[in-house]
Structure 1
Amino acid sequence: MSRLAFRAAAAAVGVVLLAVYLTAALFVCDLLRALWAARPDLPVLLALLAAGALGSAYLSYRVGTAQVLASLDGDRLPRERAPDLHRRIDSLAARMEVARPALYVTDTRAPNAFAVGGGSDGGALVVDRSLFRLLSAREIEAILAHELAHLERNDGFAIAMADGIGRSVVGLATVAALPALLALSGLATASAWIRGRPSDRSGPFARLHRALAGALFAGFVLTTLLSRSRSRRREFAADDRAAEVTGDPTALARALRRIERATEPTWSLAPFSTHKRTEDAAERWLSTHPSTGERVERLRRRAESQGPTRRIPAGPSRRTGGGRRASR
């Protein structure tokens, strides 16, 4: 095929592609315009959008919680099988004035404990069996107090709702920008074909498309970073609350160090393990938990400031302050 014939064929393909993209963009634009024309009054519209975002976040949270509990490789631990552990949880729950959570013991292949649910139903505490071999009784109690601190203020729910609302906002912005994205993509593709360089995406339309798509992606990333930052702050707050309730910050610090060491890989290819600690800033920003070293250092400073370890007697007590929380 001669060069002139190729350019003519490429130009024809570019025109067809442009027509397809612009038709799709106009269809989406007309659809959005029709939806906008049929909208209720602005206050009602905002209320509906807010209700939709909240409802979707709540449903995602409830389904996720149910899936976590259903996927556990373990069982609910009855009181008669571990009366001392249940007594510790009863005492902590009474001091923190939270509903008594259900207790599950499972095998997660790594020493761990986490809380799910919360609110009026009390939620659930999930403890890996290996923790009972790894930690002392006081360290177990500190870990349990940390997890109860999450349930005390329903951290999982708060973080899930904030994350869900943020994603809903970014999703609405993406839908609103869809006609422009389709039109710019069509113009960039058609321009490249008409110039006889189908794979070239250096033109102005391609740059505009990348800029708009990048802005939407940046919104998604910002939402994620804000959610993760909130989660890390709640981890610190749960550490503080556990230290306040137990009166023993060093017990929690020791427990965190023991768990960290137990989960560090020791095999020869450890640098390539997914459990490898990293100094990469982006990975730290995306982490839901602060580094163990930072948490331990805060707990040690707290222990030094309060003097000798003070054990709070068992039994209910009034909660002091607002109670600082976090998510684990």
Structure 2
Amino acid sequence: MSRLAFRAAAAVVGVALLAVYLTAALFVADLLRVLWAARPDLPVLLALLAAAALGSAYLSYRLGTAQILANLEGDRVPRERAPDLHRRVDSLAARMDVARPKLYVTDARAPNAFAVGGGADGGALVIDRSLFRLLAPREIEAIFAHELAHLEGNDGFAIAMADGIGRSLVGIATVVALPALLALSGLAAASAWIRGRPGDRSGPFARLHRALAGALFAGFVLATLVARSRSRKREFAADDRAAEVTGDPVALARALRRIERATDPTWSFAPFSTHKRTDEAVERWLSTHPSTDERVERLRERAEAQGPTRRIPAGPSRTTAGRGRARR
């Protein structure tokens, strides 16, 4: 095929692509225009959008909680099987403004505990069996108090709602911007084909498309960062509440250190572990938990303010990021 014939064929392809993308953009724009024309009064519209965002976040929270409990590799523990465990939790719940949670013991082979749910149903407290081998009784009680503090503050619900509302707002913005995204994508592809460079995305339309898509992605990241920041603050609040209820911040600090040491691998392939430490600021911002070092330091200061206490074990020199969704 001669160069002239290739340029002609490429131009035809470019025009066809432009027609397809612009048709799709016009269809979406017309659909949005119809929806906007049929909108109720502004206060009613805002109320409906808020209700939809809240409803979506709540449904996601409830389904997520049910899925976590359904996927547990463990069983619910009745009182007759572990009366001492139930007495400990009953005692803490009586000292806190929280309904008594359901108890689950798992065999995840990683020392951890986390709380899910909350509110009127009391939620659930999930404990890995290895904690009972790793921690002393006072340390186990401190970890339980920390998790009950999450249930007391209904933290899981609050964080899920904040995250869900943020994502809903970004989703609405994306729908509104969809016609522009489609049009810019079509213009970028068409101009590249017409210029005889199908893979070139350096033109002005491509740059505009990337800028708009980047702005939407930045909104998604911002919503995530706000939710994660809220989660880290609630971890500090739960630490403070546990120290207040037990009167022993040292026990919680020691428990956090023991769990950290048990979950941080020391073997030669540790860099490939999901539990590896990180000094990256972005990863720390995206973490649901503050570093263990930071939490232990706050507990140490609280213990010193209370008076002479037992020594808190020193931690590693580097900051350790919080671990995923499981709440300690």
Q: Which residue of 2 aligns with 1:317?
A: none
Distance 2:203 2:97 in 1: 63
1:140 alignment partner in structure 2: 140
Q: Which structure 1 residue ranges, 5 or more long, are not aligned?
A: 311-326
Task: State the Cα distance separating 1:140 from its structure 2 match.
Answer: 0.3
User: Cα deviations across residues 39-79 of structure 1 (Å, max 9, x unaligned)?
Assistant: 11111111111111100100000000011111111111111
1:200 partnered with 2:200: yes
User: Superposed, which structure 2 residues align to 1:159-308 within 5 Å?
Assistant: 159-308=159-308
TM-score by length of 1: 0.93
2: distance between equivalents of 1:309 and 1:6? 82
How far residue 153 of structure 1 moved from its aligned partner, in angstroms, is 1.1
Other-structure match for 1:322: none
Q: 1:21-50 CA deviation, whole Å, 9 max, x = no partner?
A: 000000000000011111111111111111
Residue 271 of structure 1 deviates from its aligned partner by: 2.0
SS of structure 2 residue aligned to 1:81: coil
Q: Which amino acid aligns with 1:45?
A: L
SS at match of 1:288: coil
Which whole-Å CA distance do the structure 2 matches of 1:69 and 1:162 have between them?
A: 22
Note the alpha carbon deviations across 1:162-183, whole angstroms, 9 max, x for none: 1000000000000000000000
Whether the 8 Å contact between 1:256 and 1:296 is mirrored in structure 2 is yes
The Cα of 1:97 is off from its aligned counterpart by 2.2
SS of 1:84 mapped into structure 2: helix
Matched residue SS, 2:301: helix
**Cα distance between partner residues in 1 of 2:174 and 2:144:** 42
Cα shift at 1:309: 5.3
* Higher-RCO chain (CA-CA 8 Å, sequence separation at least 6): 1
- What letter is aligned with 2:174? T
RMSD after superposition: 1.1
Q: Deviations 1:83-105 (Å, cap 9, x if unpaired)?
A: 22211111111111210111111
The alpha-carbon deviation at position 107 of structure 1 amounts to 1.0
TM (norm. structure 2) is: 0.93
How many percent of aligned residue pairs carry the same amino acid? Answer: 88
Amino acid aligned to 1:246 = T
- Verify the 8 A CA contact 1:159 1:230 in the aligned structure 2: yes
Query: What is the letter of the counterpart of residue 131 of structure 1?
Result: L
Partner in structure 2 of residue 65 of structure 1: 65
The amino acid across from 2:58 in the alignment is: Y
Cα deviations by residue, 1:257-279 (Å, 9 ceiling, x for unpaired):
00001111132211222211010
Distance apart, 1:109 and its partner CA: 2.1
Q: Is the 8 A contact 1:17 1:189 kept in 2?
A: yes
CA distance, structure 2, for counterparts of residue 160 and residue 138 of structure 1: 31
- Distance in 1, Cα, partners of 2:156 & 2:176: 30
Partner of 1:115: 115
CA distance in 2, matches of 1:177, 1:72: 40
Q: Which amino acid in the other structure matches residue 292 of structure 1? A: T
Hey, what's the Cα distance between the residues in 1 that align with 2:281 and 2:88?
39
Contact in 2 for aligned 1:247/1:309 (Cα 8 Å): no
Structure 2: how far apart are the matches of 1:264 and 1:291? Answer: 13
Runs of 4+ with >3 A deviation: none
Residue type matched to 1:307 in 2? G
Ranges in structure 2 where 5+ consecutive residues have no aligned partner: 311-326
Q: Deviations 1:97-132 (Å, cap 9, x if unpaired)?
A: 210111111112200000000001100100000000
